[in-house]
Chain A
């Protein structure tokens, strides 16, 4: 019997069983006992040939509809150079695991070192790890870090303007533990930190904010870091890292921790995953950062080489006293980001960020002229902005009309928050990838509906 991906012939099996000293494959499973051994095969379908599987997948794929996406909310359709897929598909990168054996993993270790370096450069902070699952999990890891860094602290302050799903992941993180998430309310679309001082007691570990925030708006953190630091609290800022080509970096705001997701730097939409969380910190927090870190050192002959380092923080050494339980991360996605940034350079990153900004403002400016649509707040934004519709019927018609043109017009905020108050809010994202023609198509269809 020939099975896919199993090379054994009948003769091989016989030879091997003899060497082991058993008569049959079944005998190797005697230890499971009669009670547990399945009498029949499990109820899934029979195997298929490569061609049959491809045909089946082709027909499933047809049930996905691709549109011109003006969708964002944590997942953006940016331009990705061809180098990213070509080089990240090199088989040894794809089929290796965590580089435990440094001598035969130097290429992978060096690529991670370059990733860490780029994350440090972009956030302005000192030390970055080798990646985390995604931006939301980077936030819960930041919360864990803060709690661990301050004795007796149990509360983490979190801005209500975080991505709604990130907020949910943080609430799950706190659930059933001694930790508390305390939400800081928004005002006019941005976090309201006017009462921050009164919240910074001994039990408070720190503050997590996000910019661009859940509405796409950019937030101002003037004086926030110094206030937090006076009270022994840490400051974490979550960003879309591409926006950091324009707006102030976490380091420039005085933050201790920079977190986010590198999806906007070389990763496709992919129905939301894999993306790639990152975390960078000030040097003082080096021993508290979660996950893998690669460092450079030398071998016995003085040759430079790379290795996993500061492993005394990690679960395989410290077990229940580790800084985090993370083991596997998003290495291949981090490699894609590294190749993407190597191709773009800082100039390319600034260009992509500036063009996204310009095109988003072009669309926002013209949509705001239409009756029945308002840009909710007059606040600075980057590549995504919130529209509010005058009534639900027109909003539905708007979305449908644009769909008919092959355009996905935006994300309804209520799809994320499941709250009635958000039902008339549409978040529209525009990247450098959207052509002038696509922008004009959007506007033409919008004008037809909203006249």
Chain B
């Protein structure tokens, strides 16, 4: 059943919420000066006028038309849709955190500051970096921050000419976009036949104008860059820096660190690796961690532990400044901290190991029916191709994805990375049990079989949802973006 817009249920005079009456002295209310006429709003806004139960039913019904991790498996590659513990939600709702103002005196917000300080310490240990910032609100915001630090680092060194950022063609789209926002020129780096950084291409593009190489490791094919130490050597020999996109840290946390690999600055995605909920597209959190050389360039303020407790430090002259209105998405940071406390050093290591186990298991069992162009052994995710289904039966990666929806699965990431045609990127995460994986695998195999016998049923999927495939051309040609 489709759900009407709440504004269409409006009835003049109906209310879902009543404010207590204004109780100032009568005389004052009467004498209260009104705003100068020139500043007064003229036009009313149209908002719903409904009863509380209307609001409750509307949003409850809408939530029934959404699939989350709590509803079923969500193997959306590169997004690490792992289980989000209920304990974290409970703690993030505590009044002792939700009712603390960001500008109240630090002596009254030591609890919040201690969470942030200790989280930074733990993240430093996990990544092998020296310190960081919690201000960035998402992964792309972390990229923006890390690249801004790199830019300031070279300006400070008098190397203003370093304006190139090298990015593998298989990288997430945010990498080149974040580089461009910071005024860098983006230079694509080719992949070799094994899906790794092409070392020859890299060597030919590294020069005195290069500021950084941005890498995701494991990369977006789910493969570990086996030449990472060689790459690090080459990048640093040219005087450039190495940037780590932490989107795939879940594969290696507790097993290896970006610091040991030679990365100078990295961003994390707490909403991926550290199990904070994705919220339908955010809020996330994208802390940036760095080594000693880049530390002075971190955003302000820093947090320091002194004899009198935690304090803000604003005095770092080389800091790039602020990147968020306040201190970052605190309630997301709190959830990530709870996750780390719960898991501990053995737990985060186990998470990586089981994420990799699950991905390899799914890959091994799907390999007979699907092509896995870059080899079936992978880290936490792998990319399969539906090219053969497309060629032989006219069934595309999108058709397979839409058929999965009818079976109650959120589809994998589609058509990314572009190195693989008709790509489906599958990341099961460590949260899923053997039984859930087997059911998903059986469904995928059945879909591959159906491609031969009844391709049309796949090409027209999904059949069970409130709407079928939508006319996206019409959405652009006849924009309907608001009521």
* Residues of A close to B68: CB separation below 8 A: 91-96
Known: A327-B138, A411-B103. A3 touches B29 (CB 8 A): no
CB pair B326–A99 under 8 Å, yes or no, is no
CB-contacts of B296-353 with A (<8 A):
299-300, 314, 320-332, 338, 340-351, 353
CB pair B364–A21 under 8 Å, yes or no, is yes
A169 nearest CB across to chain B (Å)? 5
CB pair B474–A298 under 8 Å, yes or no, is yes
B225 nearest CB across to chain A (Å)? 9
Known: A66-B99, A106-B467, A358-B29. A92 touches B70 (CB 8 A): yes
When C-beta atoms are compared, the residue in chain A nearest to B300 turns out to be A168
The stretch of A201-209, A224-232, A340-348, A443-451 that contacts the partner chain: A340-348
| B141 CB within 8 Å of chain A | yes
Question: CB within 8 A of A309: which of B79, B280, B479?
Answer: B479
* Residues of B close to A264: CB separation below 8 A: none
B48-66 Cβ-contact flags toward A at 8 Å (1 or 0): 1110100110111111111
When C-beta atoms are compared, the residue in chain B nearest to A97 turns out to be B278
Question: CB within 8 A of B56: which of A13, A83, A335?
Answer: A83
| A131 CB within 8 Å of chain B | yes
B415-428 Cβ-contact flags toward A at 8 Å (1 or 0): 01000000000000
| B94 CB within 8 Å of chain A | yes
A267 nearest CB across to chain B (Å)? 9
Once the chains are docked, how many angstroms separate the CA of A107 from the CA of B331? 24
| B439 CB within 8 Å of chain A | no
| B480 CB within 8 Å of chain A | yes
* Residues of B close to A354: CB separation below 8 A: 22
| B114 CB within 8 Å of chain A | yes
A48-83 Cβ-contact flags toward B at 8 Å (1 or 0): 101001101100111111110101011101010101
CB pair A299–B467 under 8 Å, yes or no, is yes
CB pair A361–B33 under 8 Å, yes or no, is yes
CB-contacts of A305-364 with B (<8 A):
305-307, 309-310, 314-322, 324-333, 335, 339, 341-349, 351-352, 354-355, 357-359, 361-362
Once the chains are docked, how many angstroms separate the CA of A62 from the CA of B94? 11
B477 nearest CB across to chain A (Å)? 9
* Residues of A close to B483: CB separation below 8 A: 113-114, 117
Once the chains are docked, how many angstroms separate the CA of A305 from the CA of B331? 33
B236 nearest CB across to chain A (Å)? 16
Chain A residues with a Cβ closer than 8 Å to the other chain, count:
202
Once the chains are docked, how many angstroms separate the CA of A304 from the CA of B4? 10
Once the chains are docked, how many angstroms separate the CA of A286 from the CA of B480? 12
CB pair B67–A92 under 8 Å, yes or no, is yes
B290 nearest CB across to chain A (Å)? 16
| A177 CB within 8 Å of chain B | yes
CB pair B5–A110 under 8 Å, yes or no, is yes
When C-beta atoms are compared, the residue in chain B nearest to A11 turns out to be B434
CB-contacts of B267-308 with A (<8 A):
271, 275, 277-284, 299-300
Known: A71-B101, A107-B61, A178-B183. A16 touches B431 (CB 8 A): no
CB pair A28–B356 under 8 Å, yes or no, is yes
CB pair A103–B41 under 8 Å, yes or no, is no
Known: A64-B110, A75-B103, A222-B38. A144 touches B181 (CB 8 A): yes
| A85 CB within 8 Å of chain B | yes
A24-38 Cβ-contact flags toward B at 8 Å (1 or 0): 010011011101111
CB pair B357–A176 under 8 Å, yes or no, is no
* Residues of B close to A272: CB separation below 8 A: 101-103, 325-328, 330
A190-220 Cβ-contact flags toward B at 8 Å (1 or 0): 0000000000000000000000000000101
When C-beta atoms are compared, the residue in chain A nearest to B58 turns out to be A342
CB pair A304–B2 under 8 Å, yes or no, is yes
CB pair A133–B141 under 8 Å, yes or no, is yes
A375 nearest CB across to chain B (Å)? 13
Once the chains are docked, how many angstroms separate the CA of A409 from the CA of B340? 36
B interface residue count range (under 10 / 10 to 19 / 20 to 34 / 35 or more): 35 or more
* Residues of B close to A130: CB separation below 8 A: 281
Known: A44-B122, A53-B87, A67-B108. A301 touches B468 (CB 8 A): yes
Question: CB within 8 A of B104: which of A67, A120, A293, A321?
Answer: A67
CB pair B148–A299 under 8 Å, yes or no, is no
| A124 CB within 8 Å of chain B | yes
Question: CB within 8 A of B103: which of A15, A73, A104?
Answer: A73
* Residues of B close to A352: CB separation below 8 A: 19
CB pair A309–B472 under 8 Å, yes or no, is yes
B7-41 Cβ-contact flags toward A at 8 Å (1 or 0): 10000000111011011100011001101101111
| A108 CB within 8 Å of chain B | yes
CB pair A106–B466 under 8 Å, yes or no, is yes
| B452 CB within 8 Å of chain A | no
Once the chains are docked, how many angstroms separate the CA of A235 from the CA of B416? 38
* Residues of B close to A368: CB separation below 8 A: none
CB-contacts of B153-180 with A (<8 A):
155, 172-174, 176-180
B102 nearest CB across to chain A (Å)? 3
* Residues of A close to B65: CB separation below 8 A: 105-108, 110
| A135 CB within 8 Å of chain B | yes
CB pair B63–A97 under 8 Å, yes or no, is no
| A275 CB within 8 Å of chain B | yes
When C-beta atoms are compared, the residue in chain B nearest to A60 turns out to be B111
* Residues of A close to B261: CB separation below 8 A: 36
| A256 CB within 8 Å of chain B | no
* Residues of A close to B125: CB separation below 8 A: 42-44
CB pair A270–B468 under 8 Å, yes or no, is no
* Residues of B close to A99: CB separation below 8 A: 66, 280-281
* Residues of A close to B114: CB separation below 8 A: 60, 63
Known: A137-B137, A268-B99, A343-B52. A36 touches B260 (CB 8 A): yes
Known: A248-B41, A273-B328, A325-B140. A19 touches B50 (CB 8 A): no
CB pair A104–B280 under 8 Å, yes or no, is no
CB pair B332–A274 under 8 Å, yes or no, is yes
* Residues of B close to A128: CB separation below 8 A: 481-482
A110 nearest CB across to chain B (Å)? 6
Question: CB within 8 A of A114: which of B6, B49, B405?
Answer: B6
* Residues of A close to B443: CB separation below 8 A: none
CB pair A96–B280 under 8 Å, yes or no, is yes
* Residues of A close to B76: CB separation below 8 A: 97, 100
CB-contacts of A424-443 with B (<8 A):
432, 435-436
Once the chains are docked, how many angstroms separate the CA of A172 from the CA of B430? 38
A363 nearest CB across to chain B (Å)? 10
Ranked 9 nearest A-B pairs via Cβ = A272-B326, A272-B102, A47-B344, A332-B279, A95-B68, A107-B65, A107-B62, A331-B281, A61-B96
| 30 pairs of residues in contact across A and B, judged by CB atoms under 8 Å | A3-B343, A19-B364, A32-B252, A36-B260, A36-B261, A45-B344, A46-B345, A62-B96, A64-B110, A65-B108, A83-B55, A90-B63, A100-B413, A113-B5, A114-B6, A120-B482, A133-B324, A137-B141, A137-B324, A168-B322, A252-B43, A273-B328, A297-B471, A309-B475, A320-B176, A325-B143, A333-B282, A346-B46, A357-B35, A380-B35
